[in-house]
Amino acid sequence: MSWMVTGGAGYIGSHVVRALADAGITPVILDDLSSGIEGFIPDGVAFVRASILEESAVTEALVEHGVTGVIHCAGYKYAGESVKYPVHTYRQNVEGTGVLLDAMAAAGVGNLVFSSSAGVYGTPPTEVVTESTPVGPESPYGESKLIAEWLIRDQVRATAMAGTALKATCLRYFNVVGSGYLDIYDASPHNLFPKVFTAIQAGRAPQVNGTDYATPDGTCVRDYVHVGDLALAHVAAAQRLEASEPVEEVYNLGSGAGTSVRQIVDAIVAATQTDLTPVEGPRRAGDPAMIVADGVLAARDLGWQMRHDVTSMVESAWAAHPKD
């Protein structure tokens, strides 16, 4: 059994690759290394350097490696930056998904796990989002993820009518943090943990924006999930599809409770052993007090659980973060 991981040299994808191998599933990586890191690729794992937009290369890789399913992690994942680069975001996330679906159809690959985003919910009407919460993305990134989900849904329906049924599920989640390996780290300049780590290394104090929200400690509450836990959920979804067991169209991966910004900052201060005192700043416009995802359905079907607390999330991320 062989599964391709698109974006498999990235922070999330590389964790998925190792989790597949640990589960006895042969991983194949497809990545153009535009943001992925070649050093994250384990020895002995098949690696195809190609863009998700190169249909012939994707199709050829699927056939050559006898792939039976795809975990689709490739894409442009920066919500804030997507506002500046909407065309690029749509090309990578929407067109790229369409190209992959065509390639899978051409190669006869019938299983797909899509790494989506809880950003499809935007600012929801409730603090805890479930799979039935109305979607309302507020950035080109969130919109592109939702459209990609629609493409997958429609392809599932179309192939079912044609008798060549695609089986698929989409996993939605918020903030991915931590590390499962000392040689894999979050290299994004836009994500919270590496930004704060880099600031502390430069002698700048971390800042807490807003301390007067209606939450237990007055700071915003968000869902943070450990990348290792996330990877296990992707593998569980792949195994379920491979076994032709029923799956939901989408699953949320979240804690249902969340972690406050104060808790995160305190844990970072402790892990980095900094003597810098966190700075309290004003609220940021548009920041709701709390948004977390309910993971009940994923717990039922995928064995989803939060295996790491905030301390281990931060400590594992700091241990892997480059110190030079």
d(CA 173, CA 176): 8
* Per-residue burial over 250-280, b = 16 or more CB atoms within 10 Å of its CB, e = otherwise: bbbbbbbebbbbbbbbbbbbebbebeeebee
Which stretches of 174-289 are DSSP H helices?
Answer: 192-201, 227-242, 261-272
Predicted local confidence at residue 115, as pLDDT: 98
Low-confidence ranges of the chain (pLDDT < 70): none
Predicted local confidence at residue 162, as pLDDT: 85
Q: Where are the domains of the chain?
A: 2-176+224-252, 177-223+255-320
d(CA 323, CA 320): 9
* Per-residue burial over 112-121, b = 16 or more CB atoms within 10 Å of its CB, e = otherwise: bbbbbbbbbb
Contact indicator for 26, 1 with CB cutoff of 8 Å: yes
Active site residue 213: no
Predicted local confidence at residue 99, as pLDDT: 98
The DSSP code sequence of 11-72 is HHHHHHHHHHHHTTPEEEEEE--SS--GGGSPTT-EEEE--TT-HHHHHHHHHHTT--EEEE
3-state SS, residue 210: coil
Contacts of residue 1, Cβ cutoff 8 Å, sequence gap at least 6: 24, 25, 26, 68, 242
d(CA 67, CA 93): 22
Predicted local confidence at residue 244, as pLDDT: 96
Contact indicator for 70, 102 with CB cutoff of 8 Å: no
Q: Which residue has the tokens 């792949």?
A: 238
Which stretches of 202-295 are DSSP H helices?
Answer: 227-242, 261-272
Q: Sort strands 207-209 and 2-6 into parallel, antiparallel or unpaired.
A: unpaired
Predicted local confidence at residue 207, as pLDDT: 87
Contact indicator for 133, 256 with CB cutoff of 8 Å: no
d(CA 222, CA 255): 9
Question: Which pair of structure tokens corresponds to residue 300?
Answer: 């039922």
What are 124-147's pLDDT values in tens digits? 999 999 999 999 998 999 999 999
Predicted local confidence at residue 189, as pLDDT: 86
What are 103-117's pLDDT values in tens digits? 999 999 999 999 999
Q: Is CATH 1.10.150.130 correct for 177-223+255-320?
A: no
Task: Count CB neighbours of 165 within 10 A.
Answer: 14
Contacts of residue 283, Cβ cutoff 8 Å, sequence gap at least 6: 209, 210, 212, 213
Amino acid at the residue 319: A
Catalytic residue among 141, 185, 213, 251: 141
d(CA 17, CA 40): 10
| Superfamily of structural domain 2-176+224-252 | NAD(P)-binding Rossmann-like Domain (3.40.50.720)
HSE-up (13 A, CA, CB side) for residue 150:
10
